[in-house]
Structure 1
Amino acid sequence: MAKWTLDNELLAEAFFEDARLFGIQCPASPQKFVWLVNNHFAFDFRYSAGSEVEMKKKGRTFTFPLFRFFENHLNVEHIIYANHCDGEYLLPELKHTDFLWLIKSDNHSASFLDLLANELRKVSQIQLVTLLSNDKIKNKQQLVL
């Protein structure tokens, strides 16, 4: 009988093909951070029970909450991931990053990304916003939904 294997790297490449990722430093809890973003941008990020990212490590299960918002008129999906849970990191190479904001869209211009980053920097409690290069992220398959 033939064995099928799933190529996680290929899956991650397809997922990130039309995506951009911001790394954000903010000491707020995930719920507070999303509340701050929703208030500043008039967005409607929502937590979906059961759609968290789970990671099993050291005999424990770590649950990283995620929040979603879809702009129908622009066909843009936004996903905010919490990067840490009980001392573990969703992306260990980004230990100083508290949140990851993934934007999936066919048409995100550099000016839109710059505008979003500049507006994010105006949100209270946000200390740093960085546009991350997708090819520099080692564990990006952790973000694939």
Structure 2
Amino acid sequence: MSTLKLKLDQDQLIEDFFDSTHLLGVVSTARDYQLCWQINRQLHYQFNVNNSLEINLSKHQRSFYFSVFEYQEPTKSVAHYFYNNHCKAEFLLPELRHIDYLWLIKGDYYQQQDVKKLIEELRHVELVQLVSLLDLREIKNKMNLIF
């Protein structure tokens, strides 16, 4: 009797997950919960930590946990995910070591002008030092963002 082995098509998984998404890089020395609180207060979002989305990476026989905050816009079918890009001395996306947080916007509602407006609003948040739109094509470790 032969056993059937199924192989996960990572390229298709990545393509499906990142369909209709925008990714922002945020630089801030604040802790994730402090920054999310400030964003919630100033921009009227409702980010909450979602422990079930926490990303666990194992490297060098050690485990690293990257927190993910989530906000679902009720009227626009848009989900916002705010990832911590570092845990101790490890990075969720090692190619973006200079970025502290990643903000993934998932859904068809947001167009380029909406993202640009959000970036401008984020630049006025007291704890934010820098915000930039990231090109997903240049990110090597996209699989690390998929929960």
Give the TM-score category using the shorter length: over 0.9
Paired position in structure 1 for 2:66: 64
Structure 1 residue 2: Cα displacement: 2.5
Q: Are 2:93 and 1:75 aligned?
A: no
128, 131, 142: which one aligns with 1:129: 131
More moved, 95-104 vs 2-11: 2-11
Contact 1:83 1:89 in 2 (8 A): yes
CA distance in 2 between counterparts of 1:9 and 1:96 reads 26
Q: What is the RMSD of the two structures over their aligned residues, measured on CA atoms?
A: 0.9
**Matched length:** 145
Query: Which segments of structure 1 move beyond 3 Å, counting only runs of 4 or more?
Result: none
Report the equivalent of 1:3: 5
Q: With the length of structure 1 as denominator, give the TM-score of the two structures.
A: 0.96
Consecutive unaligned residues of structure 1, counting only runs of 5 or more, are none
Q: Are 2:141 and 1:139 equivalent residues in the alignment? A: yes
Residue identity over aligned pairs, in percent, reads 38
Counterpart secondary structure, 1:50? helix
Gaps of 5+ in 2: none
Return the offset for 1:8.
1.8
Q: Distance in 1 between the 2:142 and 2:62 partners?
A: 21
1:105 counterpart letter in structure 2:
G
